[in-house]
Amino acid sequence: GRTGRAQKSGVSISIVSRAELRRIKKLESIIGKKFEYKKIPSKKDVFQKQIDNFLREIENTDIRETSYERYFSEIVDKFKKLNKEDLIKHFIALKFNQLMEDYKDARDLNAKESIFDSKKGNGDNVSLKINFGKKHGLDIKGFFALFNSNKNLKGIEIGRINLMPEYSIFSVEKERAEEVIKNLKGINFKGKKIDVTRSNKKVSYRGNKRSWSDRSFKRKKREWSH
């Protein structure tokens, strides 16, 4: 969001992907200031913070005699079969089991501190071919919908995209390629099954109208949000 308007000071926080880190360097050059890198908390950090807050909440709870006092003896009797350690485990499980389940498969969202170099980065990407193109009604919005609708593919960075009439070529990080193929292959799209394979063709990065540049992606996102 915006900050520091009307001669007021403020802190600007940007959540960026690895591919966007080079933009940060450009911004630093323009404004003459350095961005401080902060890591997104890991699931372990989240658990620890939640537990600390829960313990603090218990410690600060007012235990002065209230209307529930008459139920206290009955509650104590029911918990007598549990020792202190087990009772604490029951409270922790009741409070945090769902949180742990939600974060069980959470990925590390932190971008690398080193600035992403596009020429070097291309070597870390592979091209994949999907058997859908413009003739099948596939457009950029529909392409990203395939990923966003699949919970196993959320968070995967997609590189440039070439939409051809009969098929499309797109790039992903090399280590995620098999994951993309596995989770897209065989899915029905407009009455036809998706087939995804590795491709030797490189996605065009030079003025090709079919390529999906960072700038056009940002413009499209604004259009979809309206």
Report pLDDT for 194: 92
Q: Return phi, psi of residue 125, to 5°.
A: -110, 155
pLDDT by 10-residue block (mean), the chain, 226 residues: 70 76 81 83 85 88 73 83 87 85 75 47 77 90 83 79 91 88 88 89 48 41 42
User: What pTM was estimated for this model as a whole?
Assistant: 0.42
> What's the 3-state SS for 151-212?
CCCCCCCEEEEEECCCCEEEEEEHHHHHHHHHHHCCCEECCEECCEEEECCCCCCCCCCCCC
Quick check: 169 and 138 in contact, CB under 8 A?
A: no
DSSP assignment, residue 131? S
DSSP assignment, residue 91? H
DSSP string spanning 18-38? Answer: GGGHHHHHHHHHHHT-PPPP-
State the Cα–Cα distance between residues 45 and 47, nearest whole angstrom: 6
Report pLDDT for 196: 93
Query: Which H helix or E strand runs over 221?
Result: helix 214-225
Quick check: 203 and 171 in contact, CB under 8 A?
A: yes
Report pLDDT for 130: 94
Report pLDDT for 203: 63
